[in-house]
A and B are shown apart, each in its own frame.
Chain A
Amino acid sequence: MPNLKVLKNRIASVKSTRKITKAMQMVAAAKLRRAQEAAEAGRPYAERFNAVMAQLAGGVSGDSGPKLLVGNGSNQTHLLVVMTAERGLCGGFNGNIAKLARVAANKLLAEGKTVKILTVGKKGREALKRELGSHFIGHVDLSEVKKLGYDNAATIAQDLLTRFDAGEFDVAKIFYSTFQSVISQTPTEQQIIPADFSHVEVGEQSTVYDYEPGEEAILADLLPRAVATQIFSALLENGASEQGARMSAMDNATRNAGDMIDKLTIQYNRSRQAVITNELIEIISGAEAL
């Protein structure tokens, strides 16, 4: 039977843990709302953009298109852009993305491809360091960023495009988490170079657009932006997912702490009762002996 003092300290410490997790949950809830609004606000642009791109890309035939669309003919070097959070304590959020990326990387390595990894967010870097550390080629630190802006995405995109032009990789994929709901976030893998618009539904194809300047000039102008747009929406999705994951993780933690406090309190009361009973027995048997 643990002694009373130890139990009492234990209860106090679990109580303060519960306060912390409760506070974190509330902060995450507030941040989630903002992140969701940002993701919502960014959606019209991304949707329109992708729709137009899909339409344009559909018109490009064969291998004549820009490299960003049809690829540079090779499939040897893959760049994996792993986007995770800067902070932990958000359940399986970072772990799931890292796992998806690790599986993809190992698969590519098994096929004899060269894998390069660019990490966005500290946690993914830490998770992949031990196993795949030798493949790291760069890291983007967003821990100082208070509010995600398009500029952040544009910087990452610029970096990717420069590397692509320099022939550092042939195929680029991003790994992030899609926000489904507060309790469900799906780790997602998406190819961004060469651009893949096959998943975008093209609306009615009946409109025939005039292109000004030519179709290919527009495509060449828009493809780099498409990379930035996709990275931006991935970052926004990730932001919302992170807060959602943290919120539900902290909700669970708070509930667990509550259960634990209940159990410990019962145990504490029992021990206290046992001590009292013991004392009484001692007193009574002492009195009887006289």
Chain B
Amino acid sequence: MAEMMQFDLVSPERRLTSVQASEVQIPGAEGDFTAMAQHAPVITTLRPGVLKVVTTSGTEEYLVTGGFAEVGAAGTSVLAERAFAKADVTPELLEDLIKEANLQRDASNTDMAAKYADDLVAASTQIAG
């Protein structure tokens, strides 16, 4: 039995989940990583992607668009700018998000915006598939 740790996922508007998790897969800006209990303390920014939480009752998936994750001794918390549970993700929602990202990319024409849009598309295929 894997050791459990406290995991919180909060967005500015509400706390999405607060559970005991054995592992959390986090889409970090520099690459995905999995946080487990006793993980070295780390703070990382997020890229749009799919966040997977493994608990005793199964695996939950969330779509996050950005923000940051803090892995510490007390547990892991992810502060996402926008986060949706997999069940709440609809094709329309994804379409809106991607449209918004594309607009941003066309408007700002920076690598960052382009990467954001690409990541988002990748994340949406991942969560839809």
Contacts and interface: CB of A to CB of B under 8 A. Distances in A.
Interface of A: 38, 41-42, 44-46, 48-49, 52, 56, 149-150, 153, 207-213, 217-218, 221-222, 225, 228-229, 232
Q: Could you tell me the dominant secondary structure of chain B's interface residues?
A: strand
8 contacts: A45-B11, A45-B79, A46-B12, A48-B10, A52-B43, A153-B12, A210-B42, A212-B28
Interface footprint category on B: 20 to 34
A96 to B, nearest CB: 26
Contacts of B82: 150
Interface string B22-43: 0000001110000000001111
Contacts, number: 76
A209 B43 contact: yes
A-B pairs, top 10 by smallest CB distance, nearest first, are: A212-B44, A150-B12, A210-B42, A41-B14, A45-B10, A209-B41, A209-B43, A44-B10, A207-B41, A45-B12
Contact of A218 (B12, B43, B72): B43
Nearest to A46: B12
A208 B28 CA distance: 19
Contact of A42 (B8, B13, B44, B68): B13
Interface of B: 8, 10-15, 28-30, 40-45, 67-68, 70, 72-73, 77, 79, 81-82
A184 B10 CA distance: 29
B15 A44 contact: yes
B14 A42 contact: yes
Nearest to A218: B45
Contacts of A232: 12
